[in-house]
Structure formats: C-alpha cells, structure tokens
Amino acid sequence: MQCEIYHPHQCLADIMTIIEKKGRNLRRKKMVVSWAYASSYLKPVSVPQSLVLQMPRFGLDVVLAHPPEFQLMPEIMEQAKEQARIAGAGFEVTDDMEAAFKDADVVYAKSWGPLMTTQDPAEGKVLQDKYKSWITDQRKMDLAKPDAIYMHPLPADRDIEVTSEVMDGPNSVVFDQAENRMHAQKAVMALTMR
C-alpha cells in the first residue's frame, strides 16, 4: 500500500517499532532519516516523505540527511516543517550523514532516487553513484547513542546501503520492523472492515 508520495503502512509499522524499543514518550528523541547509496534501481521517495511528515507528531526531533540532489518534494518539506512546529518537535535538514548520526536515538537510512533533480534514470544513476560513501556502517552507527536502533523497510542492498555488521548487529531492529508491517496492516484492515 504505497504510492509515489506516501507509504502509510510502513510508517505505522515504523512508529510501532520505535515505541516498542524506545517507549511511548519520544519527546526530544533524535531520529535520523538518511539517504543511503544503493546500486539497484532509483527507489521512490515515499518512505522518507512519510517519515518526515509523521514522526514529529510523536515528538521525535527529525534530522533529514541527504546529498543535495536527493531532495524530497517541496510541498512535503513544507508540511513536515509545519507538523514539527505544531508538535513542538525539531526538524532540520543536512547534507552531512555523519553529523546527522551524532547522538541519534533512531537511525533510519535507506536509498531513494533524485526525483526532484531528474526524471532520467541514467542521469539519476550517475548522481547516485557519486555518493557510494553514504553507507550505514559501524563507524557511523558508533556516532549515534550506544542504544540507538537501526531501521530499514527492507529489502536493503546489503553491504551497499548498510553493512552486514550493522544489519545483523545488536542495534538492528529490521526484522521486528518487518513483522510489525503485518500487525499494522491487520489493524488497518480491522478498522476499515467494521
């Protein structure tokens, strides 16, 4: 249940997972939504857009990190700033992945295409390949808090988007997150089938 703009069921599973791991009081917890390099196709912007729109509503201070060419839709960015303002949460954007990871409670790093820069797949691939260093590795995870969780909606480009050390490590919650997709979608179905 994803479109070109939003991925609501993933976002529901994500907040469910964050609450399971970090508790209900998420105020002033830092969540990084970071672009990550992928060698596969240019992935949609729906997951990061849903995250920056929804997570401030739960009190999370969101830091969006991406290379300059990988911006999200301008209207989504305006809405995200407004949601953060209403919720009294932080929202900032950076093009420095390592600075974003510093002291993070939640790291959500995945790839998306440069859809606001170009619609040409070949040009997009050239842009994507400029940023192969945007991988979530243990060195970057060590910049986050020791109990930070690593999230990804899967499937991940293993050892390209994220190293196996992080993906299989003690901070990774990707399989709990994947299971929660099923629970979140069942809950939506139950609510809509009354």
**pLDDT tens by residue, the chain, 194 residues:** 688 889 999 999 999 999 999 999 999 999 999 999 998 878 999 999 999 999 999 999 999 999 999 999 999 999 999 999 999 999 999 999 999 999 999 999 999 999 999 999 999 999 999 999 999 999 999 999 999 999 999 999 999 999 999 999 999 999 999 999 999 999 999 999 97
**Residue 49 in contact with residue 21, Cβ under 8 Å?**
no
Alpha-carbon distances, residue 76 vs 16, 162, 179 (angstroms): 22, 26, 28
Burial letters 53-67, b for 16+ CB under 10 A, else e: bbbbebbbbbbbbbb
**Residue 169 in contact with residue 150, Cβ under 8 Å?**
yes
pTM: 0.96
